[in-house]
């Protein structure tokens, strides 16, 4: 079984459902590799072959775990970006600036300045 490569794209390009489906697929692959590792450990194959098989499966498991971790981090970053965007949208809709006061000044629009 080979470990499939999953490319990570920029935050907004990959949808949350796509990331979730990739994670689910990798978890299934992880379960399968774990079962193969158990089977190899309990098999009666030659010791050297058993050791090589075990090492290969452990390496694949570690790679899949790393992919899952990377996808979880990507998902968390996407959620943070969405929360910030939602907060900025709400701030604009309520007319609040960085200080929490309204950013509209009725006098500023009526003053002409000449140099």
Whole-number pLDDT of residue 10: 45
Distance CA 86, CA 11 (A): 16
Burial-class residue 8 by CB neighbours within 10 Å (0-12, 13-18, 19+): middle
64 close to 30: Cβ distance less than 8 angstroms: yes
Whole-model pTM?
0.61
pLDDT recorded at residue 48: 95
Full pLDDT tens readout for the chain, 115 residues: 445 544 444 444 457 788 889 999 999 999 999 999 999 999 999 999 999 999 999 999 999 999 999 999 999 998 899 888 888 877 777 665 555 555 555 555 565 566 5
- Cβ atoms of 103 and 95 closer than 8 Å: yes
């Amino acid at each position: 079984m080979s470990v499939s490569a999953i490319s990570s794209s920029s935050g907004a390009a990959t949808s949350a459902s796509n990331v979730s489906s990739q994670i689910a697929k990798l978890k299934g692959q992880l379960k399968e590799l774990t079962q193969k590792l158990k089977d190899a450990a309990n098999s009666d194959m030659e010791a050297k072959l058993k050791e090589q098989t075990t090492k290969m499966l452990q390496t694949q498991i570690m790679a899949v775990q790393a992919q899952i971790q990377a996808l979880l981090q990507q998902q968390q970053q996407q959620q943070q970006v969405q929360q910030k965007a939602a907060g900025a949208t709400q701030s604009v809709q309520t007319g609040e600036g960085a200080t929490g006061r309204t950013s509209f000044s009725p006098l500023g629009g009526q003053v002409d300045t000449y140099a």
